[in-house]
Amino acid sequence: MKDKIIKFFEDVVKEMKKVTWPTKPELMESTKVVIIACLILASFTYVIDMIINLVLKGIF
């Protein structure tokens, strides 16, 4: 069992050395895209919620 755990962590270290990490500008750009997408989705959800709320108030 101990050997399997050690082998696992050795493999993790090997794989992490193969990773291509993003540069700071790439990371900043990706962060902007995610924040904008979240704001758009939140706005869309809010508008749909308000429309459904108005429709349901009109029915009941």
Residue 14 lies in a domain: no
Residue 8 lies in a domain: no
Q: What's the CA gap between 9 and 13, in Å, rounded?
A: 6
Residue 12 lies in a domain: no
Domain residues for the domain of 30 are 20-60
Q: What is the pLDDT of residues 1-56, one digit of tens each?
A: 999 999 999 999 999 999 999 999 999 999 999 999 999 999 999 999 999 999 99
Residue 15 lies in a domain: no
- What's the number of domains the chain is made of? 1
Residue 51 lies in a domain: yes
CB 56 within 8 A of CB 48: no
Predicted model pTM: 0.67
Residue 28 lies in a domain: yes
